Amino acid sequence: MSMSGNKEQLSADEQIECLRQQLMEAQKMTALGELVSTTTHEFNNVLMTIINYAKIGMRRKDDESRKKAFEKILAAGERAAKITNSVLGMARNRSQSFEPTELETLIEESLVLLEREFAKYRIRVERQFGKVPRVRANGNQIQQVLLNLFINARQAMPKGGRVLLRLEHDAEGDMVNIIVRDSGAGVPPEKLPRIFEPFFSTKSGPDATGKGGTGLGLASCREIIEAHRGRIRVASTLGKGTEFTIKLPVIPIATSSTPSVPAPTISTPPINGAPATPSAD
Ligand SMILES: Nc1ncnc2c1ncn2[C@@H]1O[C@H](COP(=O)(O)OP(=O)(O)OP(=O)(O)O)[C@@H](O)[C@H]1O
Ligand SMILES: [Mg+2]
């Protein structure tokens, strides 16, 4: 490890830093494992729908039933495409770079992966998405944060409930706030200061879906958000629910002296009516 110098031993600080990085790597692997298991389940479910309705369509002779079967197959196929799209997005974005990121899309792509799980646990998702500017973010990492928060929320509501997702622009601080609120069990006040600590967990181990219990989820969320020069805060009321607020810095308007947003070298056709070239408002 040491490149030069006569001391082979790492200082305490270096050791801590090294362990900290290993922890974050471990959380990444856990998150990846959870993602694989979630998407496989989701995919399997979609395939079952397709197979069953294809069978129905073949058995029934009347147009009405066949039409219905085709509709179900189409809907399931479209959902399968959405799921792959989401996973591909995460796989593609393996880089550590920060880019102008649209949070609404990212939130939706994360939700797709948990849609069925939420439905199974009777969790309703409510969206309050205000119009917000793009933030400087690594999409992959923010998605990891969102999945951690969504899974925590789901686990706090074993009998169902509501997840409220809000996006708002804090113009004064030039930040975008992502708010994830659940109507779950809440955190007792004496435990609240500890929830971001690595290995702090009140869960006895992985649940029926194979998730939870390591205590690294929120530690890695904080790590990621702080690397974005953002902030993550929590507020909770026992028996009522918990609210996490993430603040991420808005993309600064590029000037010649701060080329933080590289100009695209190839101009691509506009998608969804968005301008192909970046414009300053
Ligand atoms: N939305 C929430 N509602 C209630 N308690 C929560 C919520 N989010 C986190 N907690 C509490 O904070 C603890 C730490 O959360 P964290 O995500 O770091 O670890 P974990 O979920 O226990 O395990 P994992 O590493 O698998 O995420 C949880 O065990 C739980 O007690
Ligand atoms: Mg967790």
Residue 61's alpha-carbon distances to 49, 52, 55, in angstroms, are 19, 16, 12
For the four alpha carbons of 211, 215, 216 and 218, in that order, the dihedral sign comes to: positive
pLDDT of residue 88: 75
6: Cα within 13 Å, side-chain hemisphere: 0
> Would you say the CB of residue 129 lies under 6 angstroms from ligand 1?
no
> Would you say the CB of residue 216 lies under 6 angstroms from ligand 1?
yes
Concatenated DSSP letters of 124-139: EEEEEE-----EEE-H
Least confident among 39-53, 95-109, 115-129, 259-273: 259-273
How many domains in the chain? 1
Question: Tell me: the pLDDT tens digits for 147-203?
Answer: 999 999 999 999 999 999 999 999 999 999 999 999 999 999 999 999 999 889 999
Torsion of CA 163, 169, 174, 179, to 10 degrees: -10
> Would you say the CB of residue 202 lies under 6 angstroms from ligand 1?
yes
pLDDT of residue 140: 86
Place of tokens 């970046």: 278
What is the span of the domain harbouring residue 119? 1-281
The DSSP symbol for 277 reads S
Three-state SS sequence of 4-42: CCCCCCCCHHHHHHHHHHHHHHHHHHHHHHHHHHHHHHH
Q: What pTM was computed for the model?
A: 0.78
Residue range 88-93: mean pLDDT, rounded = 67
Place of tokens 């039409």: 67
> Would you say the CB of residue 144 lies under 6 angstroms from ligand 1?
no
Q: Token pair for residue 194?
A: 């500890």
Concatenated DSSP letters of 188-244: -TTTGGGTTSTT-----S--TTS---SS-HHHHHHHHHHHTT-EEEEEEETTTEEEE
Out of 152, 165, 187, 195, give the residue to mutate to test ligand 1, the one with the largest number of ligand atoms within 8 Å of its CB: 152
Question: Tell me: the pLDDT tens digits for 120-132?
Answer: 999 999 999 999 9
Question: Tell me: the pLDDT tens digits for 225-245?
Answer: 999 999 999 999 999 999 999
Q: Token pair for residue 100?
A: 């102008």
Q: What is the residue with the minimal CA distance to atom 7 of ligand 1?
A: 152
CATH number at residue 240: 3.30.565.10
Which ligand has the nearest atom to the CA of 30? Answer: 1
Q: Is there a contact between 199 and 183 (Cβ–Cβ < 8 Å)?
A: no
- The C-alpha atoms of residue 76 and residue 81 are separated, in whole angstroms, by 9
> Would you say the CB of residue 157 lies under 6 angstroms from ligand 1?
no
